Copies of this chain bind each other. A is one copy, B any other.
Amino acid sequence: MSSRSAPPEALLEAAAGGDRVALARLLSIVERGGKEAGDVARLAYATPPPYTVGITGAPGSGKSTLTNQLVRVARGGWPRSTPADPGTADPVTADPVDQVAVLAVDPSSPFSGGAILGDRIRMQEHATDPSIFIRSMATRGHLGGLALAVPEAVRVLGAAGVPLVVVETVGVGQMEVEVASAADTTLVVVTPGWGDSMQASKAGLLEIADLFVVNKADRPGLHDARRDLEQMLDLSAPADWRPPVLATTASSGEGVDELWAAIARHRSHLEESGTLGVRRKARLAQELRRVLTARVLEEVRALSVAGRFDDAVRSIADGTLDPYRAAEELLPPVATRSDPLT
Contacts and interface: CB of A to CB of B under 8 A. Distances in A.
B292 A327 contact: yes
A326 B340 CA distance: 11
Contacts of A313: 281, 284-285, 288
Contact of A316 (B284, B292, B319, B329): B284
B325 A42 contact: yes
Tell me which of A44, A288, A312, A329 has the highest count of chain B C-beta atoms within 10 A of its own C-beta. A288
Contacts of A327: 288, 291-292, 295
The residue among A292, A297, A328, A341 with the most chain B CB atoms within 10 A of its own CB is: A292
A295 B331 contact: yes
Nearest to A298: B336
A329 B289 CA distance: 13
Given A200-B200, A285-B313, A317-B284, A291 B324 contact: yes
Given A316-B284, A333-B299, A322 B292 contact: no
Report, as a range, how many residues of chain A touch the other chain.
35 or more
A280 B316 CA distance: 11
Interface string A275-315: 00100110011011111110111111011000011101110
A330 interface: yes
A326 B285 contact: no
Interface stretch (A45-53, A75-83, A177-185): A45-53
A256 to B, nearest CB: 30
A18 to B, nearest CB: 23
A322 B47 contact: no
A332 interface: yes
Q: Max chain B CB contacts within 10 Å: which of A280, A289, A323?
A: A323
Contact of A280 (B47, B295, B317): B317
A237 interface: no
A9 to B, nearest CB: 14
Q: How many subunits of this chain does the assembly comprise? A: 2
B324 A281 contact: no
A38 interface: yes
A335 interface: yes
A37 interface: yes
Nearest to A37: B324
B292 A331 contact: yes
A228 to B, nearest CB: 19
A300 B291 contact: no
A295 B336 CA distance: 11
A6 interface: no
B281 A322 contact: no
B293 A323 contact: no
Contacts of A326: 288, 291
25 contacts: A41-B324, A42-B322, A44-B322, A46-B322, A47-B319, A277-B317, A281-B313, A281-B317, A284-B313, A288-B312, A288-B323, A292-B296, A292-B300, A292-B330, A292-B331, A295-B327, A295-B333, A296-B296, A299-B334, A300-B335, A308-B341, A329-B341, A331-B340, A332-B340, A334-B334
Given A174-B174, A302-B336, A332-B340, 7 more contacts: A37-B324, A41-B324, A46-B322, A280-B317, A288-B323, A329-B340, A330-B335
